[in-house]
Amino acid sequence: MESKYSKEKTVCVTGGSGFIGSWLVRLLLDRGYTVHATVKDLHDENETKHLQALEEHESHRLRIFQIDLLDYDSIVRAITGVNGVFHLASPCIIDKVVDPEKEIMKPAVEGTKFVLMAAKELGVRRVVITSTSAAIAPNHHWPADLVKNEDCWTDVEYCIQKKLWYPASKTLAEKAAWEFAKETNLDVVVVNPGGAMGPILPPTVNSSMSCILRLFQGCTETYDDFYMGSVHVKDVALAHILVYENPSATGRHLCVESICHFSDFAAKVAELYPEYQLPSLPKETQPGLLKWKDPSKKLMDLGLQLTSIDQVIKDSVESLKSKGFIS
């Protein structure tokens, strides 16, 4: 059945069941949009139940579609009838990768191309791509005295050499998106979030939230190659809407509360939760990464007010506690 709402206020969110995607769906519904949210499996309650809970309060303006990033027809079905697309769906496997080409690289890159092809074919107005700060760093060729910004691109060859498949896949996918946009004149803008953290809507913990959880479990991992900073998940979702709704938004948009080292973040968590025996990390966990207070100026100029890192941590930890991940 066709939506009774106008196409202008109808958008598709791929990866709508994920940590950022769920928040984006929620904020879009709050703003009066009709949303086509995509999942990998309509029969998996871990993907659908929390989305259906949002729908109950929003006058049935949410439709859930099952897609496969390598199945063009399934993507077309989800995008048909929308005016905008937010492309978040991409494999995020940090550990235990058996076949990186099959599990991560091909779905990320080819899936992005398919989404853009469908958007162009169906006359979509604007596509917002969710990239990552891990598509900005690591880059060891960047000038040592210059703060990393949207002009910096991750060194894919280095990532492949170090088996950093997620940064490699996201960098190649974003580059493919820009190439497609240049060739076809499709209106594409990109958000590059750091480690998105905060209240969890899905039943599972995403990779960024697991960074906090692992601290409470005593893990001393430093994420030295691609950590640039953290950001509230709600800010990331709002950033997507701001770049979608503002015609002046162009290019890449780094979205982090500040550029800092993971050791700074871990020390702040320990400061806020002294009752826990949290591990101490080396002082410089990201050698050569220059710290910066306001790296997300492009988004701030669009009206984004970034949540303080103290509040990001508090919201994250309290959510992990409420869901039983931290006792």
pLDDT given at position 103: 87
State the DSSP code for 195.
Answer: E
pLDDT given at position 54: 87
pLDDT given at position 57: 60
What is the CB neighbour count within 10 angstroms for residue 44? 12
Is 293 a known active-site residue?
A: no
Distance of CA 327 to the CA centre of its chain: 27
d(CA 297, CA 286): 22
HSE toward the beta carbon, residue 247, CA cutoff 13 A: 1
d(CA 227, CA 164): 12
CB–CB of 221/282 below 8 Å? Answer: no
CB–CB of 224/286 below 8 Å? Answer: yes
pLDDT given at position 125: 95
The token pair that represents 278 in the structure block: 């949290």
Residue ranges, the chain, pLDDT below 50? 1-5
pLDDT given at position 107: 95
pTM above 0.85, yes or no: yes
d(CA 299, CA 238): 10
Catalytic residue among 170, 182, 268, 283: 170
